[in-house]
Copies of this chain bind each other. A is one copy, B any other.
Amino acid sequence: MTEFDDALRLTPTDTPGAYGVDLSGDWTIGGGINGGLLLSVMGNALSQTLGAGGHPDPFSISAYYLAPGRPGPATVETALVRKGGSVSVGSASLVQRDADGNPVEAIRVLATFTDLDRTPTDSDVRLTPPELPPLDKCVRASDAPPAVLKEADLLQRSDLRLDPATAMWAVGQPSGRGMIQGWWRFADGREADALSLLFACDVLPPVSMDLGKLGWAPTIEFTVHVLGKPASGWLRIKHFTEHVAAGHFVEDCEVWDSEDRLVAQSRQLARLPRPLG
């Protein structure tokens, strides 16, 4: 079993639509579970619930983050909201227990699922794939300083190669453009599928880094549209922001597959990191 499939493994419970999951410390960033990994867990649970009606694939999923996800056991409760002919809508919630045994909801989700093998394949995309240097000219995230890697177990699950022109913030020279892009695949060679695109849309460092705002950028809202199943091979991912306002920033993400198809697009509203120290 691959690392990603292991992280997403669900166990049945006595409650219909509710699943147990053991959140692994292998996917943390700064002590909390990565938001894209949490979203993939929710997507996997919804795929069980909505897949029974013929709609196993995420099409649109919107997440509201409530509290950091912590390593340890959690329960994902899902519900079918509406079953339609070509899509179904569902809701999901991930709950953990605090030290006193009180429930803490970490994330709440609404989603539309479909069967991506049955959707029309015609497309008219005016966006173009990111232009990236070849893999061997990019910066490996695994070459980050040990202090960074220690805070980001997540990085070791990915083979992430950043375009050096968009990674200068890592050496104290943010470009100010608010754009980070690179090549990505799972470190253990697992091929990407529809579900892992939910993870891919949140796997790059926050673009606030390239604005010179270092630190954790808590997500308020995160919506992913999955436009197709990716072809095998490396994905190219581009994160960018076009506005910072009201103490927050909007981060757009595009994921392109090896056949130059835009396979996922996402937008998140996140809080700007507060100045350090």
A-side residues, CB < 8 A to B, are: 59-60, 62, 64, 66-67, 81-82, 87, 89, 91, 105, 108-112, 116, 119-127, 178, 211, 220-221, 223, 225, 227-228, 241-247, 250, 262, 265, 267, 269
In the bound complex, CA of A229 to CA of B101 (Å) = 41
In the bound complex, CA of A121 to CA of B248 (Å) = 10
Q: Which of A81, A127, A211 is the most central at the interface, judged by chain B CB atoms within 10 Å of its CB?
A: A81
User: Within the complex, which residue of B62, B227, B246 is in contact with A62, where a contact is CB–CB below 8 Å?
Assistant: B62
User: Within the complex, which residue of B67, B110, B245 is in contact with A227, where a contact is CB–CB below 8 Å?
Assistant: B245
Residues from chain B with a CB closer than 8 A to the CB of A59 are: 220, 246, 269
Contact in complex: B62, A223 (CB < 8 Å): yes
Q: Which of A62, A81, A82, A126 is the most central at the interface, judged by chain B CB atoms within 10 Å of its CB?
A: A62
Residues from chain B with a CB closer than 8 A to the CB of A112 are: 64, 220-221, 269
In the bound complex, CA of A178 to CA of B126 (Å) = 10
Q: A66-B89, A110-B110 are in contact. Are A243 and B82 (CB under 8 A)?
A: no
Residues from chain B with a CB closer than 8 A to the CB of A60 are: 64, 220-221, 269
Residues from chain B with a CB closer than 8 A to the CB of A241 are: 126
Residues from chain B with a CB closer than 8 A to the CB of A81 are: 64, 66, 105, 108
Q: A87-B220, A267-B267, A269-B225 are in contact. Are A110 and B243 (CB under 8 A)?
A: no
Contact in complex: B120, A221 (CB < 8 Å): no
Contact in complex: B127, A242 (CB < 8 Å): yes
Contact in complex: A243, B123 (CB < 8 Å): yes
Question: Can you add 13 more A-B contacts, CB < 8 Å, to A64-B110, A108-B110, A223-B267?
Answer: A64-B112, A81-B108, A112-B220, A122-B244, A122-B245, A122-B247, A123-B244, A123-B246, A124-B211, A124-B244, A223-B223, A227-B246, A245-B262
Contact in complex: A125, B244 (CB < 8 Å): yes
In the bound complex, CA of A59 to CA of B247 (Å) = 12
Q: List 9 A-B contacts (CB under 8 A).
A: A62-B223, A81-B105, A112-B220, A124-B244, A125-B243, A126-B241, A223-B223, A225-B250, A267-B267
Residues from chain B with a CB closer than 8 A to the CB of A246 are: 59, 116, 119-121, 123, 227-228
- Which residue in chain B gives the minimum CB-CB distance to A93? B81
